[in-house]
Structure 1
């Protein structure tokens, strides 16, 4: 686990050759594969997954499997996250991984949206049938997650990949907030402008009777 966390590929390979237990988990449910993924060590992660395919489905205490952690990587680790996500799917198939939800009801697609992995999101939707309209445990879809983070290009991408505007005005099940409300509340002005240009309904009200304009004050 320590070698995987540090990306020490030669040490990992030596330990595997000598019988290291790749399905062993930490107190929070992470395997060596989880640890390699979270640090963006793509070469190590791919090796571990190929040696122990079952580890790709081991869940942490929060219900997250390695592919979700890969898709969620940002900044300098984003490219490694994209690479690992594609590799895991190529190694194991699509349906089970795309359908897996963590305790918050999020799938790999939502993780990729939050991380602003634009090309990966496009690939998951177009090539593997991922659905940005699906709802997490709080009734939030891909547009909600993109709006929360202020990802303007991601919202535009989601709109381009779908044929209906209904998801643009989807109200969550917690506060009845729409994507526009999340963007306004979080001060993402460019995102608000984008959503309005896409004809988001600015008259919708949350469970307390507030509009997006009220939340943005």
Structure 2
């Protein structure tokens, strides 16, 4: 183990001649090949493989030597392991080798692995595909690389997230635009990308989604439209853009709450003012029988109360 960690191929050869076990494991389940691969010692890896080391041995964390090499960005060792029969599609660890390569963003490393895998839709322990990981990290070059290799752009995880919704949720409007240009579906079920963009206040992402045909008033599982989400979060720029794109200012969720209810309750007074200016229906009641004015009074939002009382329907 010490010789492998130090990358000393000569000592490893001597040890093998004396009967040392090539696949002996440490407490964490790692073999000498794990250690040599992790540290990028290609000569030591050659000696170990030549001595019969298992290239697909798995440590306690589920990682094989290939994953270790990819994780650390060692291209030479990665080539050697793949040539020696390492499984590029192994799913024993939290992430596949392809996920790790995407995280590193090393083009040549990614190409090596893409040459070996048949499907680019493997998922990690979070349910993310490699393309979703690239979207989360905002790596446009890797996204282009994966899509060029037939990565399926609209594969969703158990939550219904796609690469586009990931980009929208993280406020990465440039990545969202790339995915939309590559024909990503802007109208996924449940929480759409527009819901996420409205929720984090990324007006640019909202704009791009609208440009590429996203429905402006889709309802999620709670009956909330993107406009309601923007109102609840107090994201005035996204709210204004959605209204400009034709979102209904009087839409309500399953609790019959309108944008005016949510903005008044959550102190989003810039949005309350916009809605008053747009003459939103101030008399609509939620399931509790509360009007927006009552919702504002409940949380002692004095500014919202004054704005609402200036509404034409109440000022008479």
Which residue in 2 is equivalent to 1:12?
A: 12
Q: 1:105-150, CA deviations, whole angstroms, 9 ceiling, x for partnerless residues?
A: x43222222222322333433x434311233454432211212222
1:130 aligns with 2:118: yes
Which residue in 1 is equivalent to 2:35?
A: 35
Which residue in 2 is equivalent to 1:194?
A: 178
Normalised TM-score (structure 1): 0.77
User: What's the offset of the Cα at 1:169?
Assistant: 2.1
Change in 2 beyond 3 A, CA 1:9/1:138? same
Change in 2 beyond 3 A, CA 1:149/1:209? closer
Normalised TM-score (structure 2): 0.55
Structure ranking higher on relative contact order (CA contacts 8 Å, 6+ apart) = 1
Q: SS at 1:169's partner residue?
A: coil
Change in 2 beyond 3 A, CA 1:88/1:196? same
User: What's the offset of the Cα at 1:61?
Assistant: 1.2
State the alpha-carbon separation in 2 of the partners of residues 50 and 203 from structure 1: 53
State the alpha-carbon separation in 1 of the partners of residues 50 and 154 from structure 2: 42
Higher helix share: 1
Is there any run of 5+ residues in structure 2 with no aligned partner, and where? 202-316
**What does 1:1-217 correspond to in 2, within 5 Å?**
1-54=1-54, 56-73=55-72, 78=73, 81-92=74-85, 97-104=87-94, 106-125=95-114, 127-136=115-124, 138-162=126-150, 167-173=152-158, 175-204=159-188, 211-214=195-198, 216-217=200-201
Q: Which has the larger radius of gyration?
A: 2
Is there any run of 5+ residues in structure 1 with no aligned partner, and where? none
Q: 1:174-193, CA deviations, whole angstroms, 9 ceiling, x for partnerless residues?
A: x3222123234445454333
